[in-house]
């Protein structure tokens, strides 16, 4: 087949691409009139400055990531069979890791599908096509997903910041099958209710699964405060693990309603309380009340999703730690989380430690948690390892 070609600028680093880096930035590609005319999501052969083929890429000239590597074979055919091969490999890992079909099935570049996220919820799956090429090939991806996994319901969740950066419109639609209610998801002994069409992202955050489990051990027999709880997050896992009581805080009423439904379904409702409020205001109010908890968790949305927001984001993480630390009982535990791509582990850890100190507390960092193994990291792409969870034991 005849495909357009795009070429790296002479000073662009082709070696990184040959060694597995999956992106080409806008200032690294020759953007002549012919390249500028390519429709978003066009497949093209990428060449280095000496016109040697590097592989098959998808091009979006309106994005800062102007090209994404799809296949090292420049003649690869991107059809249902190609998607099925990638999905089969992804599924094999998840089936080895989990006994039940509730997990992240595809973690974008790390699973060989740039800009694509797929979360599985039993017989249903949610696709996030966050890059233009995935939107263009959505029908082949959906067909391959059904063929490989056997799911009967497929939802397209076309929302979020990433789609805006690609110039894509927001849209959530059921592509196949149907949903009449939120889906119950068993995880760490708790039950979470996932709204696949109206909830945040795909309806549930699987990435914190191992950190929920670690926190649950720390909360046994004690009281728990879970701030930014979403649909129950750390709180329900802690209750399932033996915590005496838990207070869950979130700004979203619908999310808290799902959390309460999950608690009731798992028989934890009598020990579970919710409070709808802005997180910072709730922490200040609890401090004024003199409240203390054996385990406090703060798992906010990304305060620093990109480099321009880094300084403000780090200040927000510091403030969060400052307000949360005084609420921890002597000898208790504080868990601080960040899903910000722009804030690396060192910067987040330093901001958290400053906040704890400003909150009048000292403590030990006893554990650093990351996303679960269904969120693999592409070693060449630091952005694929976005989640950081810091576990502190605070002194009296």
The domain that contains 62 carries what CATH number? 2.30.130.10
Residue at 166 is within a domain? yes
Which pLDDT value is given to residue 336? 98
Is the confidence at residue 150, as pLDDT, over 80? Answer: yes
Does residue 161 share a domain with residue 193? Answer: no
* CATH code, domain with 103: 3.30.750.80
Judged against a pLDDT cut of 90, whether residue 102 lies above it is answered with yes
- pLDDT level of residue 293 (50, 70, 90 thresholds): very high
**pLDDT (tens digit, 9 = 90+) per residue, 262-276?**
999 999 999 999 999
**117 shares a domain with 17:** no
Q: Pick the residue with more confidence: 160 or 358?
A: 358
Structural domain of residue 27, as residue ranges? 5-71
Residue 183 lies in a domain: no
**Which two three-digit tokens encode residue 285?**
């109010």
Same domain, yes or no: 113 and 67: no
> What pLDDT is attached to residue 248?
98
Q: Examine the residue annotation and report whether 298 is marked as an active-site residue of this protein.
A: no
pLDDT in tens, 348-371: 999 999 999 999 999 999 999 999
* pLDDT value at 132 more than 70: yes
Q: Are residues 239 and 335 in the same domain?
A: yes
Q: What is the mean pLDDT of residues 25-54?
A: 95
User: Do residues 28 and 75 lie in contact, with contact meaning Cβ atoms separated by under 8 Å?
Assistant: no
**Average pLDDT estimate for 212-240:** 98
Average pLDDT for 316-331: 98
Domain end (from 131, 147, 176): 176
Q: Among the three residues 176, 211, 240, which one is the final residue of a domain in this structure?
A: 176
Residue 315 is part of a domain; what is its CATH number? 3.40.50.150
Please determine, for residue 1, whether its predicted confidence score (pLDDT) is greater than 70.
no
Percent of all residues in the chain with a pLDDT value above 70, rounded to a whole number:
100
d(CA 259, CA 69): 39
Q: What is the pLDDT of residue 396?
A: 72
Residues 250 and 363 in one domain: yes
Is 182 contained in some domain?
Answer: no
Residue 20 belongs to some domain of the structure: yes
- Whether residue 112 is found in the same domain as residue 255: no
Residue 252 forms part of a structural domain: yes
196 and 340 housed in the same domain = yes
Q: Is the pLDDT of residue 90 over 70?
A: yes
- The answer to whether residue 241 scores a pLDDT higher than 90 is yes
The pLDDT, as a whole number, for residue 162 is 85
Compute the distance between CA of residue 215 and CA of residue 242 in angstroms, rounded to an integer: 11
User: Is the same domain home to 166 and 281?
Assistant: no
Give percent of the chain with pLDDT exceeding 90: 92
- Name 172's bridge partners: 157
Given 71, 94, 122, which residue is the final one in a domain? 71
Domain-located, residue 181: no
Q: Which of 339, 347, 353, 387 is catalytic?
A: 339
Q: Are residues 305 and 199 in the same domain?
A: yes
Examine the domain organization and report whether 255 and 384 are in the same domain: yes
Residue 140: inside a domain: yes
Same structural domain, 237 and 314: yes
Q: How many domains does the chain have?
A: 3
For residue 208, pLDDT over 80 is answered with yes
Identify whether residues 58 and 197 lie together within a single domain.
no
**Residues in the chain, overall count:** 396
Cα 22 from chain centroid? 19
Instruction: Tell whether 54 is covered by a domain.
Output: yes
Gap between the Cα atoms of 245 and 113, Å rounded: 42
Asked if residue 119 has pLDDT above 80, the reply is yes
- Contacts of residue 337, defined as CB under 8 A and 6 or more positions apart, other chains included, come to 208, 211, 297, 298, 299, 300, 387, 388, 389, 390
Q: How far is CA 178 from CA 101, 119, 153, 219, in A?
A: 18, 16, 6, 38
Going by their DSSP bridges, the two strands 116-121 and 124-129 should be labelled as antiparallel
């Amino acid at each position: 087949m005849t495909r357009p070609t795009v070429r790296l600028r002479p000073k662009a680093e082709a070696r990184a691409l040959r060694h597995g880096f999956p992106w080409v930035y806008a200032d690294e590609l020759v953007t002549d009139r012919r390249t500028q005319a390519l429709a978003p999501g066009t497949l093209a052969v990428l060449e280095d400055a000496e016109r040697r083929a590097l592989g098959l890429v998808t091009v979006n000239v309106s994005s800062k990531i102007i090209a994404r590597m799809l296949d090292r074979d420049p003649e690869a055919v991107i059809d249902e069979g190609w998607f099925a091969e990638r999905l089969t490999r992804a599924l094999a890992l998840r089936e080895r890791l989990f006994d039940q079909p509730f997990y992240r099935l595809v973690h974008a570049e790390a699973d060989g599908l740039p800009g694509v996220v797929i979360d599985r919820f039993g017989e249903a799956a949610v696709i996030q096509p966050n890059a233009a090429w995935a939107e263009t090939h959505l029908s082949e991806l959906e067909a391959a997903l059904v063929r490989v996994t056997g799911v009967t319901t497929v939802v397209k969740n076309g929302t979020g910041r990433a789609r805006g950066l690609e110039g894509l419109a927001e849209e959530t639609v059921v592509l196949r099958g149907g949903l009449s209610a939120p889906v119950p998801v068993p995880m760490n002994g708790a039950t979470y209710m996932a709204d696949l069409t109206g909830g945040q992202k795909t309806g549930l955050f699987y990435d914190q699964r191992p950190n929920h489990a670690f926190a649950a051990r720390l909360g046994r027999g004690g009281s728990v405060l879970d701030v930014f709880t979403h649909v129950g997050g750390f709180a329900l896992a802690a209750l399932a693990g033996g915590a005496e009581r838990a207070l869950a805080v979130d700004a979203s009423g619908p999310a808290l309603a799902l959390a309460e439904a999950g608690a009731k379904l798992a028989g934890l409702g009598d020990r579970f309380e919710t409070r709808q409020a802005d997180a910072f205001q709730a922490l200040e109010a609890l401090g004024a009340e003199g409240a203390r908890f054996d385990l406090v968790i703060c798992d906010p949305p990304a305060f620093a999703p990109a480099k321009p927001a880094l300084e403000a984001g780090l200040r927000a993480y510091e403030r969060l730690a400052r307000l949360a630390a005084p609420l921890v009982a002597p000898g208790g535990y504080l868990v601080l989380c960040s899903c910000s791509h722009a804030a690396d582990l060192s910067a987040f850890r330093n901001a958290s430690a400053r906040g704890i100190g400003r909150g009048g507390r000292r403590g030990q960092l006893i554990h650093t948690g990351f996303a679960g193994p269904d969120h693999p990291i592409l070693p060449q792409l630091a952005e694929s390892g976005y989640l950081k969870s810091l576990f502190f034991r605070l002194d009296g």
